[in-house]
Structure 1
Amino acid sequence: MDLDVVNNGGNKRMYHRAQQNERPSKVCYYWLEGRCTRENCKFLHGELPSSNGFSQKRSLQPIEERISHATSAGPRRGMPLKWFRGQGDRQGDAAPIENRRKVQNKICTYWIAGNCRLGDECKFLHSHFVGESMTFLTMLSGHEKAVRGIALPMDSEKLFTGSQDESVRVWDCQTGQCVGVINLGGEVGCMISEGPWVFVGIPNTVKAWNTKTSTDLSLEGPCGQVHTLAVGNEMLFAGIQDGSILAWKFSVVGNCFEPAASLSGHTRSVVSLVVGLKRIYSGSMDNTIKVWDLDTLQCLQTLSEHSSVVMSLLCWDQFLLSCSLDRTIKVWVATGDGSLEVTYTHNEEHGVLALCGMHDAQAKPVLLCSCNDNTVRLYDLPSFNERGRLFSKEEVRAIQVGSGGLFFTGDGNGDLKIWKFLTE
C-alpha cells in the first residue's frame, strides 16, 4: 500500500511501501456484488483462507450461474397462463418467513430489477413475497406508467386495467395476453366495475363502457382529475379534484347517466369513496372523512381523527376502516346514536395508500394494506397479525379481488401482478 504524506513545505513526498508479499486482509465488498472495476484493487478478489485450510464461507457461484439464477427467478413475461381456470398452485417463489436465513422482509433491489449477481449468496430476499398461504402466479406488463385501477366486469372473460399512461388495457383471462388498448387522452385516476359496466375517471370526465352492449358514454361535469368512484343506491359517485362529489343516475329510457346531485363540504380533493350501511363515506386531502346519507345525500358527520390525507376507505360488516399517510389504519364503529367513533388504531411504519378486504381459502378475513415503502402487508382480522408481505418495484395503488382466491396488484412501474391464496 502506498501512503502519501505531505510535509510542512508542501513540495516533498515520502513513500512508505509495504512489503510486496503482504496479502490483503479483507474481501472486496464491490467484488462480492460483482461490480468492482478497480484494476489494482487493494482488497481481496476471492475467499479469505481460514487457519484449517477451508473457506470461511460457501464459495460464490460463477458469474454466469448467478446471472442465470437472477434471470430464472424473475417474472415470466409473455407466458400463456390460464389464471382463472385450471391454474395449479406454484410455490417456487414462496419464502416462508421462519425458514429464510436472510434479512427478513427486505427485497433485493438488484434482483427485482433483474440484475443481482450474487444468487443464493445475496443476504436480501429473492422473492416476490414472504408468507406461506399465497403464491405468485404471473405478471402482466404493458403499461408504461402507474396502474391506477383494475376492473373485472360481471360475466366477462376480460380484465381491464387503467394507467397514468392515458390508456386502458384489456387482458384475456384465459391466456393472460393483452387483447386491446384504449387510448383516453388523459391520465386514469381510478377505475371500477359494476355489473357489465366499467367506469374510468380521467380529468374532467368519467368514461363508461357496457361490456355486453358495447355502449360507450362520457359523463361530463367534473372539474379536474377524477380520483375515486363508487356505486350505491343505483347511482354512480365520483370524487373530484375540486373537493366535490358528483352523482349520476342511470336512465333506462335514454340508456344514459343523468346528473343527480353534487355534494360539497370537503375543502380539498376527494380521493377515496366507499358505500355501505346506507351511507357513503368520503376521504379527502383535507384529512377528514365525511359521512353522507345515501337517500338524502346530506352530510351526517365529519370525522377528523386522521392527521394527513385519507387515502382509502373500506366497509366490512359493521365496521369502517380508513387509512392515511399519517401511518395509521383506523377502525370505526357506530355508537348508540349512529355516529362513528374509533374503536382501534393500527400503526404502520410507513404511510398507507390502499386497503382491500378478502377471504382466504379457509374463509378467514384478510386485510391487504399497501404502504409507500413498495410493499403490501397482509393481516388477519380482527387481530391484525401479519401473515405475509408482497414486494413491488414501486408503490401499489390498485388492488382488486377476483374469484377462486385470486387477487391483483398494480404498481407505479406499470406492472400488474396476479396472486392466489393456497388451498392447503
Structure 2
Amino acid sequence: MDMDGGRRVFNRLGPSSSTDNTNKQQKVCFHWRQGKCTRYPCPFLHSELPTAANGKRPHQGFGAEDNYRAGGGLRRSGNYNFSNNNTWGRVQPQQPVNNRTVVKRIEKLCNHWVQGSCKFGDNCKYLHQWSTGDCFSLLAPLDGHQQVVTGITLPMGSDKLYTGSQDETVRVWDCQSGQLVGVVNVGGAVGCMLSEGPWVFVGLANLVKAWNIQTSAELSLNGPVGQVYSLVVGSDLLFAGTQEGAILAWKFNVAANCFEPAASLKGHTLAVVTLVVGGNRMYSGSMDQSIRVWSLETLQCIQTLSSHTDVVMSVLCWDQFLLSASLDKTVKVWAATESGNLEVTYTHTEEHGLLTLCGMHDSEAKPVLFCSLNDNSIRVYDLPSFTERGKIYSKKEVRSIQIGPGGLFFTGDGSGQVRVWKWSAEPSTALS
C-alpha cells in the first residue's frame, strides 16, 4: 500500500509505467473499496486481481493479460465492478453536463429520504423531492391527524380549511397562518366531507353531521346504514352514498331549520363510494364495479355502466364527458350517444389502481386532471390529451384532493398529513 497525497491507494500487482496517468490506472480506488466513489470516469481501478501467497500475480493462462487491456474481454473502466459485495449499483452512472456531473434519478420517492436517513445524499438515484414538474410547488404540510385523511373542504367565503380523518376528528385550520385553530372529536371515523353554502357535512357511521359555520348550529341526519362514504348536493337535495349500497337524500326545511328525509335511491348491491352531479344527472360509483346514472328530476336510475372490472373509486364531470377511475387501473371517458346513453370513448391505463380524481382549469383555461394512485402518487395530466404535467408523491396513498382559490390545492394522505400546494400560474375554476 502506498501513500499518495495523504490518501491511501492500493497498488494493483503488475508492471508499472513511467507516466503518471498509467500509474493511476494501476491503482485500485480507495473510495471504491469503501463503496462510495462518485467520480465518472474515475482515474483509478474499480476492480482487483487475486494475489498469490508470495504477493506475486498468479499465472492466468494464455491470453489472460490481454483481457485486462483495452479491447480485451473485460473492460478496465471505473464503471464496472464485478465484486458481489459492492455498493456501486446503488448510485446510477453520472452523466457529465457542462463539466459537471449529475445523477440520473429514477422517478420514485426515496423511502430513506422520507425517513430522514438516506446516506447517499445528492448521489441517491431515487427522488429527494415531493413532486416533479414545474407547474406547482409545495407550500406547507399540515400535521396533526393520526390516520388517513378522508375529507378536505374549504367553505365558500370562509378563511378556514376543514379536514376529516379516520382518527375520528375534524381539524380546522386558519388559511392565512396555516395554524390549527380547532379540533372536533366527532365520535367516529370520518368517511367523507362536503361544504355547501354555510354548511359543512361530515359522513360518519350511520349518520351525517351538519354544521352551520355562520350560526354554529349542529344537526344530525339519521337514516344511513353503515359508513357514509360520499356526499354531494344537487337539485336542492343532499345525497349520501352508504355502505349498504343505498343513496339517501335530504331536503332542507328553512322554516323548521332542519334537513328532512326526501328519498332513498336503491340499485347498487355494495357500498356507494363516490357521487358527482352534472347537469340534471347524478352519477354514483360503487364497490359493485358499476356506475349508475340517476335523473335528478325523477330520482330514478336511467342507466347502469358496467365497463369497469373492479371498484369504481371516483367519478368526475368534465364538459360533456363523465370520467371514472377504478382499482382496475383505468380511467374511462364516457360520452353520450345519439340515444342519450353513455358509452366509453377512451380508456387511459395506469400501472396501479386509481383512488380519486380531481380537476381544475389552469390560468389558460385548460382543464387539468389529478389522478391519485395507490402507489402513493398523484399523476397530473392535461385534458383531453392525458399529457403528463408532473407527479406528486406522498408518504402513503392520497385519498383526498381539494381545489382552493388563488391557485391553491390540498392533498390528504394515509399517514394523516395534509399538504398545501400552489400552482406556478394561477388557475381559474375547478372541474365538477
Q: TM-score range by the shorter chain?
A: 0.7 to 0.9
Alignment-derived partner of residue 83 in structure 2 = none
- Within a 5 Å distance, the mapping from 1:52-67 to structure 2 comes to 52=43
Once the two structures are TM-superposed, the CA of residue 113 in structure 1 deviates from its matched residue by: 2.1
Return the alpha-carbon distance in structure 1 between the equivalents of residues 283 and 360 of structure 2.
20
Alignment-derived partner of residue 303 in structure 2 = 301
- Within a 5 Å distance, the mapping from 1:409-424 to structure 2 comes to 409-423=411-425
Q: Percent identity?
A: 61
CA contact (8 A) 1:27 1:48 kept: no
Question: Quick check: 1:250 aligned with 2:252?
Answer: yes
Return the alpha-carbon distance in structure 1 between the equivalents of residues 311 and 423 of structure 2.
31
Once the two structures are TM-superposed, the CA of residue 356 in structure 1 deviates from its matched residue by: 0.3
Alignment-derived partner of residue 189 in structure 1 = 191
> 1:256-310, CA deviations, whole angstroms, 9 ceiling, x for partnerless residues?
1000000111111110100112001110000000001001100100000000000
CA contact (8 A) 2:28 2:44 kept: no
Alignment-derived partner of residue 34 in structure 2 = 44
Cα distance, 1:337–1:53 mapped onto 2, change above 3 Å? closer
Return the alpha-carbon distance in structure 1 between the equivalents of residues 38 and 138 of structure 2.
38
Once the two structures are TM-superposed, the CA of residue 27 in structure 1 deviates from its matched residue by: 8.7
Cα distance, 1:22–1:336 mapped onto 2, change above 3 Å? same
> 1:66-95, CA deviations, whole angstroms, 9 ceiling, x for partnerless residues?
xxxxxxxxxxxxxxxxxxxxxxxxxxxxxx
- Within a 5 Å distance, the mapping from 1:332-351 to structure 2 comes to 332-351=334-353
Partner of residue 199 from structure 1, selected from 195, 198, 201: 201
| Alignment size in residue pairs | 351
| Deviation larger for 114-123 or 158-167 | 114-123
| Deviation larger for 102-111 or 137-146 | 102-111
Once the two structures are TM-superposed, the CA of residue 47 in structure 1 deviates from its matched residue by: 3.8
Give the letter aligned to residue 208 of structure 1. Answer: A
Once the two structures are TM-superposed, the CA of residue 383 in structure 1 deviates from its matched residue by: 0.3
> 1:361-385, CA deviations, whole angstroms, 9 ceiling, x for partnerless residues?
3222100000000000000000001
Alignment-derived partner of residue 360 in structure 2 = 358
Return the alpha-carbon distance in structure 2 between the equivalents of residues 249 and 144 of structure 1.
34
Cα distance, 1:153–1:100 mapped onto 2, change above 3 Å? farther
Alignment-derived partner of residue 114 in structure 1 = 116
Partner of residue 241 from structure 1, selected from 240, 243, 249: 243
Return the alpha-carbon distance in structure 2 between the equivalents of residues 104 and 116 of structure 1.
15
CA contact (8 A) 2:403 2:409 kept: yes
Partner of residue 104 from structure 1, selected from 100, 103, 106: 106
Return the alpha-carbon distance in structure 1 between the equivalents of residues 28 and 188 of structure 2.
59
CA contact (8 A) 1:361 1:421 kept: no
Return the alpha-carbon distance in structure 1 between the equivalents of residues 193 and 413 of structure 2.
14
> 1:81-121, CA deviations, whole angstroms, 9 ceiling, x for partnerless residues?
xxxxxxxxxxxxxxxxxx98433321111112222222111
Return the alpha-carbon distance in structure 1 between the equivalents of residues 231 and 386 of structure 2.
27
- State TM-score, norm by structure 2: 0.77
Once the two structures are TM-superposed, the CA of residue 22 in structure 1 deviates from its matched residue by: 8.9
> 1:312-353, CA deviations, whole angstroms, 9 ceiling, x for partnerless residues?
000111110000000000011111121111111101110000
Return the alpha-carbon distance in structure 2 between the equivalents of residues 262 and 51 of structure 1.
72
Return the alpha-carbon distance in structure 2 between the equivalents of residues 339 and 393 of structure 1.
40
Partner of residue 171 from structure 2, selected from 169, 174, 177: 169
Question: Quick check: 1:368 aligned with 2:378?
Answer: no
Which runs of 5 or more residues in structure 1 are unaligned?
1-19, 33-42, 58-98
Partner of residue 325 from structure 1, selected from 313, 324, 327: 327
Cα distance, 1:220–1:182 mapped onto 2, change above 3 Å? same
Give the letter aligned to residue 246 of structure 1. Answer: L
- State TM-score, norm by structure 1: 0.78
Which runs of 5 or more residues in structure 2 are unaligned?
1-9, 14-26, 47-77, 80-100, 427-432
Give the letter aligned to residue 268 of structure 2. Answer: H
Partner of residue 159 from structure 2, selected from 153, 157, 168: 157
Alignment-derived partner of residue 397 in structure 1 = 399
CA contact (8 A) 2:332 2:347 kept: yes
| Deviation larger for 245-254 or 119-128 | 119-128
CA contact (8 A) 2:149 2:399 kept: yes
Return the alpha-carbon distance in structure 2 between the equivalents of residues 217 and 128 of structure 1.
39
Give the letter aligned to residue 351 of structure 1. Answer: G
More strand by share: 2
Once the two structures are TM-superposed, the CA of residue 154 in structure 1 deviates from its matched residue by: 1.3
> 1:18-40, CA deviations, whole angstroms, 9 ceiling, x for partnerless residues?
xx999997999xxx9xxxxxxxx
Question: Quick check: 1:381 aligned with 2:371?
Answer: no
CA contact (8 A) 2:11 2:28 kept: no
Return the alpha-carbon distance in structure 2 between the equivalents of residues 162 and 256 of structure 1.
23
CA contact (8 A) 2:194 2:200 kept: yes
Question: Quick check: 1:279 aligned with 2:281?
Answer: yes
Question: Quick check: 1:407 aligned with 2:409?
Answer: yes
Return the alpha-carbon distance in structure 2 between the equivalents of residues 357 and 100 of structure 1.
35
